[in-house]
């Protein structure tokens, strides 16, 4: 898999995604099933190694029952 240069926003999304998933006690496999995305893709997103589209952010937010902005908002 091609690695993309580090991105602060990708780091924020990765952290927020891991936190939201952990709050629910969900595995990556469960989130993949709920969102219809591939588990290895989610793993790469959570490690900040993979770009993620707006559509996939929306799919994850829907699966987690949160607003999409909660995945891209940097903590203060």
Domains along the chain? 8-70 (1.10.260.40)
CA 54, 56, 60, 62 dihedral sign is positive
Contact 36, 62 (CB under 8 A): no
Q: What is the pLDDT of residue 3?
A: 60
8-67 pLDDT, tens digit each: 999 999 999 999 999 999 999 999 999 999 999 999 999 999 999 999 999 999 999 999
pLDDT at 55: 98
Give the residue among 38, 13, 34, 14 at the shortest CA–CA distance from 25. 34
Crossing angle for the helix pair 8-24 and 54-64, to the nearest 10 degrees:
20
Helix axes of 39-46 and 28-35: crossing angle, nearest 10 degrees: 120
Indicate whether 1 pLDDT > 60: no
Q: CA-CA distance, 8 to 31, in Å (whole number)?
A: 23
Q: Which pLDDT band, with edges at 50, 70 and 90, does 75 fall under? A: confident
């Amino acid at each position: 898999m091609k690695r993309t240069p580090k991105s602060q926003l990708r780091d924020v999304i990765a952290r927020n995604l891991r936190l939201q998933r952990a709050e629910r006690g969900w595995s990556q496999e469960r989130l993949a099933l709920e969102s219809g995305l591939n588990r290895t893709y989610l793993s790469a997103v959570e490690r900040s190694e993979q770009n993620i589209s707006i559509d996939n952010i929306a799919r994850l937010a829907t699966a987690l029952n949160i607003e999409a902005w909660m995945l891209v908002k940097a903590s203060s």
